[in-house]
Every structure is written in structure tokens, then in C-alpha cells.
Amino acid sequence: MTTHAVPQTGAHEHEAIASLRTPRPYMNPYLAGIGLGLVLLASFVIMGRGLGASGAFSTLVSVGVAKAAPEHAAANSFYSENLATDGNPLKDWLLFEVIGVFAGGFLSGVLSGRIKRTTEKGPNISVRGRLFFAFLGGGIMGFGAKLARGCTSGQALTGGALLNVGSWAFMMCVFAGAYALAYLMRREWQ
Amino acid sequence: MNAPFFKYGLFNDEVSLIVAVIIGIGFGFFLERAGFGNARKLAAQFYFTDMTVLKVMFTAIVTAMLGVYFLSVIGFVDLSLVYLTPTFLWPQIVGGLLLGFGFVIGGYCPGTSCVSASTGRIDGWVYLIGIFAGVFAFGEMFPLMETFYNSTPMGQQTLSQLTGLPYGLLVFAVVVMALGAFMAAEWGEKVMAGKGRKTQ
């Protein structure tokens, strides 16, 4: 008995390539939320801590300042607290977690054809204008996250799930602040 | 076997960094799946045209909250070993407002900007540079702000401890509140569908 190997036709291949190039629709938000919640739960159960993001930036900035001006960093309790670990301050849990966030986002982007070199903006603003606001917003967010001892990940998600008092106050204020400024910023997005 | 595993010494610090990367991959994966690598989709939350941020965030909070609640009730997870960020009320209120401003001005938060950058968005990369600048500015100004940063301390405090209400009742209340918010979000999106369009 002989079996004939059927060669794959080109049409099939083209379809596969096309599906890689056309971005797939986003996941159902409730399913994505359950996925995110299970990752957070896994972090609680395995590590005894939640997720984070802004802490990784504190570590990198503190290490950078300590490299450039060691005495200046040592005299400042914000920097020195981020550097105060036995051994290498770069062996920081949140820093490694954020490296994973980059990788996980990239993986999901590849799988759904959403890797694209572009600038996300509304139709009524120039790319330069949008990038200016991206920098400004990032700066305000970075400053605010340090003042609040965490960002959307470390406070809102993690503290939210643990019913942390400060986290719930924080979360309400994030939404309040964003909605308060939304009208002023409408030309960037709409 | 008891949890949190790390706190019971199931693995050491070096292994915990590998765990960090794996958990981070899961985190970034679902952020991107939800559409959070795209500033337009995130910002649309604040114009009521696309309520995905609210839906994903509250579903995640409810999922993890219910999980941690049941796992602690059956005695599997020792909640006292799960780290709770101490509350400093006023700095967290002011910081929260600033984060909200930064969110609608820049279009991301720190976690989502990482996903945006790793999927090629230039605004995501610029936003990341902005965060570095903001954290550096905070660090330089820290000696001036240290008093405010440490003001109104309330310790490690949960809503249950603050109000004296049972943990389970508050969990239930958050679930009810989330379901209400989801219904309002679905209704709101339908109303706005006539006026705008959903971000893709």
C-alpha cells in the first residue's frame, strides 16, 4: 500500500501569511480580565506579592544615579532605599517581572499580527504633538506613581484585589483625574 | 503544602527571579490581548466610547479577589504573608490624581507602555522615556517632599479592618459593584455607538 504525500498548496500558505499580517480583533475584555486576574492570583499564591511596573523604573533610575554620582545617591533616601539590597540592586523582582511584560506583550503581538512600528494618536494631532504629550504624560505618571507608592499594577490591580484602603482611594483618584482632564485633551484622541 | 510558596521557602531568591519573568510574561500577554498596547483604546475609556479598561481591570480585580478570598478561607493561603502596601492617604490621593492626568495626557500607564513599546509603538517608547524623567524628577525633589510622602500614615490596612465589616461581605459588595459597573459600561457603549466608534 502506498501513500501519496499531498504537497501543500500555495493558497494555504498565503492564507497563513495574510492572517499574520492582518491584526486580529482584541480578546473579549471579560476573558482578558479573567486571564489577568489569574496571573495576579498566581503571583499572590506563588510569591506572596502582587504585580507591579513602576518599581522597576525606580530601581533603574536609582542605579543610574548611583553610577553617575554615588555620593549624591547615598545622601538621598529615595535612591538609597532602592539600592539597599544585599548584593546587586539590579536583582530586583519587579525589574525581572517587567522584562517578562515586554516579552509577553511581544509574544501576544506576534501571535495576533499586531507588531507594527507606528504612533497611536487621534486624527487631529500631529505625530510630533502626540509624542510631546506621550513624554509629558509619562513624566507626570512617573512622578505620581512614586508619590502614590505604586501605579495601576501595584496599587489599583494588586491592592484592589486585596481590598487595600490606600489602593482603593488611589484607584478612584486615577479615574477622577483622567476624566477631569479628558475634555481638555480631546484633540489628542478624537 | 501551604502558600505563598516563596514565603514558605519552597524556592530561593534566584528562582524567584525566574518566576518573576514567567509571571511578567503572563501579565504582558493578557495586557496586549486586551488591546492595552494601543493608547487610543486606553484613552477611549475617558471619552466613554470604549469601556474596555474598566471591564478588564474590574474583571481582573474580582477574579484575583475571589481567588485569594476562597484560598484564604480554606486555609491554603496565609493572607498575613501576602504583602500589602501601607496606606499613606494624602500622598496616594494626590499621586492617584497625577496618574490620572498622566494617563489621559500620555495614553498609557507604566505597565501598558511596556506592552505598547514591545509591539513597536513609538509613542510607547517615548512614554517610557517620560517615566524615567518623572521618576528622576521625583528622586531629585524627594528631600523636599519627604514629609508629605510620609504624611497621613494608616499602616497596612484593608477595607475590612477600616470599616469593621466582615471580609466576605466586602468581597460580595465589590462583586455586586463590578457587575453594576459592567452593565452600565455595556449600556454606555451602546449609547455612544451611535455617536462614535469602537477602537480597533
- Put simply, whether the predicted model's pTM sits higher than 0.80 gets the answer yes
Chain A touched by B162 (CB under 8 Å):
yes
Grid cell, residue A16, equals 497563513
pLDDT beyond 80 at A2 = no
Chain B touched by A90 (CB under 8 Å):
no
Mean pLDDT, chain A, integer: 90
Please enumerate in sequence order all residues whose Cβ is within 8 A of that of B46, keeping only pairs 6 or more positions apart, or say none. Answer: A178, A179, A182, B103, B104
Question: In this structure, which long-range contacts are made by residues A73-79, counting pairs with CB atoms below 8 Å and at least 24 apart in sequence?
Answer: A76/B139, A76/B140, A76/B142, A76/B143, A77/B142, A77/B143, A77/B146, A78/A146, A78/B138, A78/B139, A78/B142, A79/B139, A79/B142
- Whether A65 and A82 have beta carbons less than 8 Å apart is answered as no
Chain centre distance of CA A23: 20
DSSP state of B16: H
> ipTM of the predicted structure?
0.95
State the CB neighbour count (10 A cutoff) for residue A132: 16
Report the distance separating Cα B117 and Cα B99, nearest Å.
Answer: 19
Nearest to B94 among A25, A147, A156 (CB): A147
- Report pLDDT for B192: 85
In the stretch 24-63 of chain A, residues with CB closer than 8 A to chain B read 25-27, 29-30, 32-51, 53-54, 57-58, 60-62
- Report pLDDT for A23: 86
pLDDT beyond 50 at A180 = yes
- Report pLDDT for A79: 96
Which residues is B3 bridged to in the sheet?
A: B77
Task: Show pLDDT as tens, one digit a residue, over chain B (200 residues).
Answer: 689 999 999 999 999 999 999 999 999 999 999 999 999 999 999 999 999 999 999 999 999 999 999 999 999 999 999 999 999 999 999 999 999 999 999 999 999 999 999 999 999 999 999 999 999 999 999 999 999 999 999 999 999 999 999 999 999 999 999 999 999 999 999 988 876 555 55
Report the distance separating Cα B7 and Cα B10, nearest Å.
Answer: 8
3-state secondary structure of A150: coil
Helix orientation angle between A127-147 and B122-149, rounded to the nearest 10 degrees: 30
State the Cα torsion B102-B107-B113-B119 to the nearest 10°: -170
3-state secondary structure of B121: strand
- Report pLDDT for A176: 98
In the stretch 120-149 of chain B, residues with CB closer than 8 A to chain A read 120-124, 126-140, 142-143, 145-146, 149
Chain B touched by A70 (CB under 8 Å):
no
Chain centre distance of CA B89: 17
Grid cell, residue A42, equals 498566581
Would you call A163 and B21 a contact, using CB atoms and an 8 Å cutoff? Answer: no
Shortest CA gap A4–chain B (Å): 41
State the CB neighbour count (10 A cutoff) for residue A66: 19
In the stretch 2-21 of chain B, residues with CB closer than 8 A to chain A read 3-7, 13, 16-21
Please write the tens of the pLDDT for every residue from A16-52. Answer: 555 556 889 999 999 999 999 999 999 999 999 999 9
Question: Can you tell me which residue has the cell 474583571?
Answer: B59
Q: Is the dihedral of CA B124, B140, A129, B188 positive or negative?
A: positive
Chain B touched by A152 (CB under 8 Å):
yes
Report the distance separating Cα B191 and Cα B183, nearest Å.
Answer: 12
Q: Prior bond to B86 cis, omega within 30?
A: no
- Report pLDDT for A1: 45
3-state secondary structure of B160: helix
- Report pLDDT for A12: 56
Chain A touched by B158 (CB under 8 Å):
yes
3-state secondary structure of B183: helix
- Whether B109 and B134 have beta carbons less than 8 Å apart is answered as no
Report the distance separating Cα B108 and Cα B133, nearest Å.
Answer: 15
Report the distance separating Cα A113 and Cα B135, nearest Å.
Answer: 33
